[in-house]
């Protein structure tokens, strides 16, 4: 026998039993986002590698270590999308959406790929719900996006949600701050982890993310970006907070909030769930006012977030698991009844019923057992004397006629309207 093959490490199948809960999450997100004017978009699963190199940033973990990048047959470097914001911004530009009324509000539900070390809640293929609002720098955009994420997580029943909010300011302000932070890191170089030390020049902000104890000690006394925002950026952040306060959205201001992509400016946010383990992030996002320009477009502000479906499912409680409804199971008591049963099942489906039919050559007894297993409400049995309808709840059975129309009439009679 050949070796039994398995799915690649860090990927998983979404099995039939997983779908009812998943569908609730997807449907809740769709309803809430579309009611707020966000329209669905789906971009290709792979993109030119350069999109992420430029958009997400050369120095990020995602681009340096986690992308599935390969050459196609034409020798072009392509990458399985590791995130959705850069592709959506590319699509915004490519389809001239800057000519529409701004902001253009888009949402997606797609799979993403990162070559991370798999663990509970961290996979190499995972699904995200995301929302992006492109073309306005109004703080109301930021507040609306945060509110929508908060509402979706609340409606789905995610437990122990915490929302952290910060501001990274504008790139110019960040450059000044970056210098201050680099000075601080260099002054404590010996206490830092090797990785952080190696990145003092390239990406000093990531030092806040380190779980290295020495680095964490050094970061406690590090200068905070929030204390060095320009007046405009500070005003923008205050406006976002005032709107969230007015909407009653609870949040904590986190001065050390950094995110894994270089494109963020001004408002950033992250939601976690206490119900999750080490991988506690449920969703996150922020403003990316320079991204579209980095992709070759005109200066265009934007903001967006993404939330992981698998993490939402792990952190939510009480998601219903409805069993599929079967209105009618079509059985046959005759050896030569197969075509008649097939025709009856087809007509009943056309009439809008959820119908299953015998597909494994069982005896009549076996067919009734199968109908019971499926939870069928009625069974139509084709016999020599016509078609009988069996009510699986009461156990009553009667001959209703010999045509599918007769079965339809009988079913209608039992369920008027």
Footprint of ligand AMP (CB under 6 A): 83, 114, 116, 121-123, 126, 128, 260, 281-284, 306-308, 310-311
Residue 121 Cβ vs ligand AMP, minimum distance, rounded to whole Å: 6
Structure tokens at 384: 């020599």
Q: Which is nearer to ligand AMP, 162 or 362 (CB)?
A: 162
Q: Which is nearer to ligand AMP, 60 or 170 (CB)?
A: 60
Q: Which is nearer to ligand AMP, 121 or 173 (CB)?
A: 121
CA distance 64 to 49: 12
Residue 309 Cβ vs ligand AMP, minimum distance, rounded to whole Å: 8
Q: Which is nearer to ligand AMP, 18 or 191 (CB)?
A: 18
Say if CB 82 and CB 16 are below 8 A apart.
no
Residue 375 Cβ vs ligand AMP, minimum distance, rounded to whole Å: 34
Q: Which is nearer to ligand AMP, 115 or 193 (CB)?
A: 115
Q: Which residues pair with 78 in a beta bridge?
A: 48, 70
Residue 308 Cβ vs ligand AMP, minimum distance, rounded to whole Å: 2
β-strand 125-134 against 302-308: which pairing, if any?
Answer: antiparallel
| Residue count of the chain | 417
Residue 126 Cβ vs ligand AMP, minimum distance, rounded to whole Å: 3
CA distance 400 to 105: 55
Of 286, 229, 236, 296, which Cα lies nearest the Cα of 263?
Answer: 286
CA-only gyration radius of the chain, Å: 28
Residue 283 Cβ vs ligand AMP, minimum distance, rounded to whole Å: 5
Burial of residue 302, with CB atoms counted within 10 A of its CB: 0-12 exposed, 13-18 middle, 19 or more buried: buried
Say if CB 358 and CB 415 are below 8 A apart.
no
Q: Which is nearer to ligand AMP, 284 or 337 (CB)?
A: 284
Residue nearest to ligand AMP (CB): 308
The helix or strand, by DSSP H or E, that contains position 162, with its residue range, turns out to be strand 161-167
């Amino acid at each position: 026998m050949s070796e039994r093959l398995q799915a690649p490490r860090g990927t998983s199948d979404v099995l039939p039993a997983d779908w009812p809960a998943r569908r609730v999450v997807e449907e809740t997100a769709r309803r809430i986002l579309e009611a707020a004017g966000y329209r669905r978009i789906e971009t290709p699963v792979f993109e030119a590698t350069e999109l992420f190199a430029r958009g997400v940033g050369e120095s990020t973990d995602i681009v340096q270590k986690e992308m599935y990048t390969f050459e196609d047959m034409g020798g072009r470097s392509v990458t399985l999308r590791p995130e959705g914001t850069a592709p959506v911004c590319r699509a915004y530009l490519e389809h001239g959406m800057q000519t529409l009324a701004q902001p253009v509000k888009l949402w997606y539900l797609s799979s993403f790929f990162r070559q991370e070390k798999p663990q509970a809640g961290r996979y190499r293929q995972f699904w995200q719900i995301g929302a992006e609002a492109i073309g306005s720098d109004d703080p109301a955009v930021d507040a609306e996006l945060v509110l929508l994420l908060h509402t979706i997580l609340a409606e789905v029943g995610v437990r122990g949600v915490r929302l952290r909010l910060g501001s990274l300011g504008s790139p110019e302000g960040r450059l000044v701050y970056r210098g201050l932070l680099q000075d601080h890191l260099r002054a404590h170089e010996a206490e830092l982890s090797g990785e952080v030390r190696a990145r003092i020049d390239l990406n000093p902000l990531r030092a806040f993310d380190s779980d290295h104890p020495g680095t964490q000690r050094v970061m406690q006394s590090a200068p905070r970006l929030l204390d060095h925002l320009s007046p405009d950026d500070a005003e923008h952040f205050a406006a976002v907070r005032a709107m969230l306060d007015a909407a009653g959205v609870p949040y904590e201001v986190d001065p050390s909030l950094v995110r894994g992509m270089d494109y963020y400016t001004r408002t950033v946010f992250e939601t976690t769930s206490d119900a999750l383990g080490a991988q506690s992030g449920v969703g996150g996002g922020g403003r990316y006012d320079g991204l579209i320009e980095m992709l070759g477009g005109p200066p265009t502000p934007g903001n967006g977030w993404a939330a992981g479906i698998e993490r939402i499912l792990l952190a939510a409680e009480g998601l219903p698991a409805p069993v599929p409804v079967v209105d009618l199971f079509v059985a046959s008591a005759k050896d030569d009844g197969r075509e008649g049963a097939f025709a009856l099942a087809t007509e009943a489906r056309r009439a809008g019923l959820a119908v299953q039919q015998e597909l494994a050559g069982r005896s009549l007894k076996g067919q009734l057992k199968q109908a019971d297993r499926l939870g069928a409400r009625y069974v139509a049995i084709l016999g020599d004397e016509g078609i009988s309808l069996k009510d699986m709840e009461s156990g009553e059975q009667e001959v209703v006629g010999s045509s599918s129309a007769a079965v339809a009439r009988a079913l209608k009679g039992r369920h008027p309207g």
